[in-house]
Amino acid sequence: MIIRKKYLFYALAFASSIIAASVSAIDATISQIYIPNPWAFSFSCFIVGIIISLLIVLVFSIPVKGRSLGSRVIDPSFKRLRLVRKEELKYHIPAAVGNAILTIGYLSLLSILGDPSTVLPFSQIVILYLILIESITEKNMPTLSEIQSSIIVTFGAILGSISLTGTINLASLAIVFLVVNPAWVLFSINQRKLKILKVDNRPNDALNIRFWNVVFACLFTAILAIIYDFIVGGNNFIEGIAASINHFSWVALTMGVTFFSYVFYIRALGIGKASVTQAVRASTVLFAIPFSILISYFNVIPPFTTDPVMILIKIIGTILVILGIVSFALALVKAYVFINIKPGYSIEETMDKLWTIWGVTRVTAIAGKYDFIVKIRTRTLVKGYEQIIQKLEEIDAIKDYKWQSVLKEWEKI
Amino acid sequence: MINAYILLTMRTGDSGKAILEMRKIENVEKISVVAGEYDIVVRVQVKTLESLLKVTNKIQMIDGVKKTTTSVIEKEIAL
């Protein structure tokens, strides 16, 4: 089946964000009632997470009519649970460090603020960090529209993060900017690299990536907890183990649901740019509101104010986040450039020169009428001319080229 | 695995129907409708050159396809 790639991308990213919003309500309940210590809660999440993720991956490894259940239901690239490969380690380790720090930071925020609809908007500011990283790693400079969209999302997130109980906490802002968002960038970028990595000549699968991420993150959380205990003289490591035994069912619930949220997120990351995936996932802010109202109704968090000004601010913030998402998603130009080179020039050297041009996502040497087909991804046609055509013309080997703008595209997922 | 681009020139008419037919072909990885010298760029992945011939044949049989130009990929760098 071949479908328009963007439909699957948005379905995965939105499913991931709805599930993430429900997880935040479960986390808030556990944090407020059962495990108030964020270090113990984080460590218990990963201990229980290994067991739950292992069970889920084993179930999805069951073969059904020649293919695994996971490949039919979740990710077509999945075959079965496998050991982590050597080439994956360089991405798994930073992703796990990111996830360990992110979880501790996020649960600390939740224990300070309580209300998930307040905590989640804060984490959307990560989009600024992602744009910066993409401009370095993916050879793609941010355009004015990208900057505008990320500013809209950021301001929307700040307004949306004002609690409906009317409070804003400065300590939480420091955790957001210095701990949660940098850790999320580390986690997100490396998960994307893992997803686009080929293992045994097949695309890597989201289920194995998630399972091994939880295993490594557990190890790093244990190390961080031991170091923290050693410095401040606490007992978080032991409390984490105790919490995972005493509140196993609650932690298992949150980790089971989180598993699916991440699997969908990793698959979306493998399809779209990290910043666009993050932009769509920002809709968690909107989906978190009904969950917050629900747990407030059950007195898990303090009741919401009925002050119309506070409600208005929250609504404006949510609308801004969604506006930012839409403007992000709509601005993208793709093109093929067919190139012929002059006799006497090396194909491989020309290929390397083409690859250094910003916005070039694929360079293909072909046999036939043309020597190269180059795939371009850019935010605007103006940028396409300034950054790509002008650079192409500087390469001596190029005899002529033809630009073919992509109007619509379908891809096998 | 052999990867190839098939560049298509279409007759004026119902290209939507032709694309729908192409989407059903098993080895087709990507279909891009483009503006320029060609009308559609199709990327295919096959195991043998014989399979490539079969895919090209299937595409040529689709109503609306005027001309196909197949280019086998020799080397590739991608993100």
Is residue B56 less than 8 Å (CB to CB) from chain A?
no
pLDDT at A403: 92
Per-residue DSSP letters for chain B?
-EEEEEEEEE-SS-HHHHHHHHHTSTTEEEEEEEESS-SEEEEEEESSHHHHHHHHHHHHHSTTEEEEEEEEEEEEEE-
Whether residue A330 is predicted with pLDDT greater than 70 in this model: the reply is no
Is residue A201 less than 8 Å (CB to CB) from chain B?
yes
Contact call for A368 and B69, based on CB within 8 A = yes
Contact call for B76 and A362, based on CB within 8 A = yes
Q: Does domain A333-412 have CATH number 3.30.70.920?
A: yes
Counting the structural domains of chain B, the total is 1
Q: Report chain B residues whose CB lies below 8 A from the CB of A138.
A: 79
Is residue A403 less than 8 Å (CB to CB) from chain B?
yes
The chain-wide mean pLDDT, for chain A, equals 83
d(CA A288, CA A291): 5
pLDDT at A136: 66
Q: Report chain B residues whose CB lies below 8 A from the CB of A195.
A: none
d(CA A227, CA A273): 35
Whether residue A138 is predicted with pLDDT greater than 60 in this model: the reply is no
d(CA A262, CA A17): 9
pLDDT at A3: 56
Q: Report chain B residues whose CB lies below 8 A from the CB of A362.
A: 76-79
Instruction: Say which CATH number the domain at B31 has.
Output: 3.30.70.920
**Closest residue, chain A, to B34 (C-alpha):** A406
Contact call for B72 and A367, based on CB within 8 A = yes
What pLDDT, in 10s, does the model give residues A29-71?
A: 998 889 999 999 999 999 999 999 999 999 999 988 888 888 8
Whether residue A2 is predicted with pLDDT greater than 60 in this model: the reply is no
How high is the mean pLDDT in each 10-residue block of chain B (79 residues)? 93 87 89 92 92 93 92 85
* B53 in any annotated domain: no
Q: Report chain A residues whose CB lies below 8 A from the CB of B69.
A: 368-369
Q: Report chain A residues whose CB lies below 8 A from the CB of B4.
A: 366
Per-residue DSSP letters for A377-411?
EES-HHHIIIIIIHHHHH-TTEEEEEEEEEEEEEE
Whether residue A152 is predicted with pLDDT greater than 90 in this model: the reply is no
ipTM for the predicted complex comes to 0.93
Whether residue A397 is predicted with pLDDT greater than 90 in this model: the reply is yes
Is residue A346 less than 8 Å (CB to CB) from chain B?
no
* B19 in any annotated domain: yes
Type of residue at A101: I
Domain hosting B34: range is 1-47+65-79
Is residue A369 less than 8 Å (CB to CB) from chain B?
yes
* B17 in any annotated domain: yes
CB-facing half-sphere around the CA of A226: CA atoms within 13 A: 6
pLDDT at B65: 93
Domain coordinates in residue numbering, chain A:
2-144+163-301, 333-412
pLDDT at A134: 65
pLDDT at A315: 83
What pLDDT, in 10s, does the model give residues A346-366?
A: 998 999 889 888 778 889 999
d(CA A259, CA A257): 5
Is residue B71 less than 8 Å (CB to CB) from chain A?
yes
d(CA A138, CA A359): 8
Question: What is the length of chain B?
Answer: 79
What pLDDT, in 10s, does the model give residues A195-212?
A: 777 777 677 888 899 899
What pLDDT, in 10s, does the model give residues A81-117?
A: 999 998 899 999 999 999 999 999 988 888 887 777 7
Q: Report chain A residues whose CB lies below 8 A from the CB of B58.
A: none
Highest mean pLDDT among A160-169, A280-289, A389-398: A389-398
Whether residue A144 is predicted with pLDDT greater than 80 in this model: the reply is no
Question: pLDDT grade, residue A322 (50/70/90)?
Answer: confident
Contact call for B77 and A402, based on CB within 8 A = no
Whether residue A267 is predicted with pLDDT greater than 90 in this model: the reply is no
Contact call for A363 and B77, based on CB within 8 A = yes
Is residue B49 less than 8 Å (CB to CB) from chain A?
no
Highest mean pLDDT among A80-84, A167-171, A173-177: A80-84
Classify burial at A293, counting beta carbons within 10 Å of its beta carbon; exposed 0-12, middle 13-18, buried 19 or more. middle
pLDDT at A166: 57
Whether residue A141 is predicted with pLDDT greater than 70 in this model: the reply is no
pLDDT at B3: 92
Closest CB to B37 among A347, A366, A404: A404
CB B25 within 8 A of CB B59: yes
**Mutation for testing the A interface, residue in B32, B47, B72 having most A CBs under 10 Å:** B32
Whether residue A223 is predicted with pLDDT greater than 80 in this model: the reply is yes
Instruction: Determine the distance in angstroms separating the CA of B48 from the nearest CA of chain A, rounded to an integer.
Output: 16
CB pairs under 8 A between A and B: 91
Instruction: Determine the distance in angstroms separating the CA of A207 from the nearest CA of chain B, rounded to an integer.
Output: 22
